[in-house]
Amino acid sequence: MERFPGGRPRLNPSVLSRALEELRDYFRGQRRSFTVPLCPQGTPFQLRVWNFIRTIPWGETRSYKEVAEAIGCPRGARAVGLALKANPLPIFIPCHRILRENGQIGGFSLGLERKRWLLEHEGVRVRWPGRIPRRG
Residue 134 lies in a domain: yes
For this structure, is 95 an active site residue?
A: yes
Are 60 and 97 contacting, i.e. CB atoms less than 8 angstroms apart? Answer: yes
CATH number of the domain that residue 53 is part of:
1.10.10.10
Domain span at residue 52 reads 41-136
98 and 53 Cβ atoms separated by less than 8 Å? yes
How much is the mean pLDDT over the chain? Answer: 88
Q: Which residues contact 13 (CB under 8 A, 6 or more apart)?
A: none
Kindly name the residue from 53, 84, 95, 119 that is annotated as catalytic. 95
Q: Which residues of the chain have pLDDT under 70?
A: 1-10, 128-136
Q: Specify the pLDDT at position 7.
A: 55
Rounded Cα–Cα distance for residues 51 and 10 (Å): 21
Determine, yes or no, domain membership for 47: yes
Residue 114 domain flag? yes
What does the pLDDT look like over 95-112, one tens digit per residue? 999 999 888 888 898 999
Domain count, the chain: 1
- Asked if residue 77 belongs to a domain, the reply is yes
Peptide bond preceding 129: is omega within 30 degrees of 0, i.e. cis? yes
In-domain check, residue 19: no
- Work out the burial of residue 126: count CB atoms within 10 Å of its CB; fewer than 13 is exposed, 13-18 middle, 19 or more buried: middle
pLDDT of residue 43: 97
pLDDT digits (tens, 9 = 90+) for 52-70: 999 999 999 999 999 999 9
Q: Is residue 71 part of a domain?
A: yes
- Residue 29 inside a domain? The answer is no
87, part of any domain: yes
